[in-house]
Amino acid sequence: MEMLLNRGRAEEKMRKYDLGALIASSPANVFYTSDLCPFGRCFALLPRDRNVKPALIVPISAPTPVVLMSPPWISEVRYYGEFYVMTRWAKEPLTDAERKLVRAQEAWEKTKQADPTLILIKLLKEKGITKGRIGVDESNLPPKSPLWKEIKTNLPSLEPVAAQQIFREIRMVKSAEEMERIQEALRITEKAWQTALEQTREGMTEKEFSDAYQHTIISEGGSIVSKMGMYGPPIGFGPRTAFPDIAFPSDYKLKKGDLIRLDGGCSYMGYPCDMGRSAVLGEPSEKLRKYYDALLAGEQLAIEMAKAGVKASDIFNAVASTVRKRGLEHYVRHHTGHGWGIEGYDPPLIGPRDDTALEEGMTFCFETPYYEVGWGGPMIEDVVVITKSEARFLTKFDRKLYVIGKWS
């Protein structure tokens, strides 16, 4: 397994902003930087100089995740807090994980440090990062937190600067490992969607459909995640599809002519996916056909336009105009796509005020949803990666309006 971190890009941004190192503090940025699933308050220190080892600071109560999930390249781990695992009787033969657990406990017992801020200050001194500028991810370490004061007190020649947006800028272009995890999450989601559709019948409830969908995700090695922090699988039937995000599958029973909407997906090894598809039980109405064709035409144009150097706002304006011209005259949206990554939405946004130029290696969810209360919410959404000359599909499932059975 390769590291999640796009290390070359991180070093490029540190040079751009004249930073000697970056400190990750949010769960997403610690995970991205180190491949450690954070437990409690964790920090990751990433020096710009590759001759200086990166390091992790984690609570001693979480040695097992460190042992099992830290990649080999980030071998230096410091512990804080209070937790006890009996190691005095540990004798060989031990597994490698057991040896690391013993070393973790012994390392903590030598210091029994309770304050991760003081550990971080000590690390910076040890590694010679004492002058110039350092980027601090302020999402979990705001400027009024003790760390900023401790740096100024103990390292007066070192200037901490806010770096949350720098981390987001780094993460816009995906590493090979990130791409593999997103692709696998999509594969599992598409199989789950197909499996649930094959079981669909008149009278089926959203809960029953969602059960079939979730069962496949678990059996394929994925994890259930909800849309943008909501609670249920991203599935809706009939008029309920007009709700932008379906929070809970309900007892609503599927009827002939009802729309079925998927918007979201599963997670694989910490990486979620976000795709959208629409299906209908029986022959779709003329209105649904017309609207869906317009939405698909808009999304198709976005994918055709997407390549390195094209502005996000230019894509948005062309897509919205196309959907309106193709039959959905009153179509309005705040965006028609967004970057995708470890936290879901990554910059840039395919919106009217985002003039960011697309870069090779960015991953996007292009989408053209439409929500009409009392009727429904058809949508189409695909995940693509940007290359120099085109956008390459990561989603594979057919983009047509999926018709289940016929009118009896």
Whole-model pTM?
0.92
Say yes or no: 87 and 197 in one domain.
no
CATH assignment of the domain containing 59 = 3.40.350.10
Domain that holds residue 26: 7-171
Determine the pLDDT at residue 46. 98
Say yes or no: 153 and 256 in one domain.
no
Question: Would you call 171 exposed, middle or buried from its count of C-beta atoms within 10 A (0-12, 13-18, 19+)?
Answer: buried
Say yes or no: 278 and 320 in one domain.
yes
The answer to the question of residue 305 being in a domain is yes
Query: Tell me, what amino acid is at 168?
Result: R
The answer to the question of residue 1 being in a domain is no
Tens digits of pLDDT across the chain (408 residues): 678 999 999 999 999 999 999 999 999 999 999 988 888 889 999 999 999 999 999 998 887 777 766 666 788 999 998 888 888 888 889 988 888 888 888 888 888 888 999 999 999 999 999 999 999 999 988 998 889 999 999 999 999 999 999 999 999 999 999 999 999 999 999 999 999 999 999 999 999 999 999 999 999 999 987 555 445 678 899 999 999 876 688 999 999 999 999 999 999 998 999 999 999 999 999 999 999 999 999 999 999 999 999 999 999 999 999 999 999 999 999 999 999 999 889 999 999 999 999 999 999 999 999 999 999 999 999 999 999 899 999 999 999 999 998 543
Contact by Cβ (8 Å): 164, 340:
no
The answer to the question of residue 362 being in a domain is yes
Say yes or no: 205 and 153 in one domain.
no
Say yes or no: 129 and 263 in one domain.
no
Domain boundary among 171, 199, 219: 171
- The domain total for the chain is 2
The answer to the question of residue 355 being in a domain is yes
The answer to the question of residue 2 being in a domain is no
Say yes or no: 145 and 189 in one domain.
no
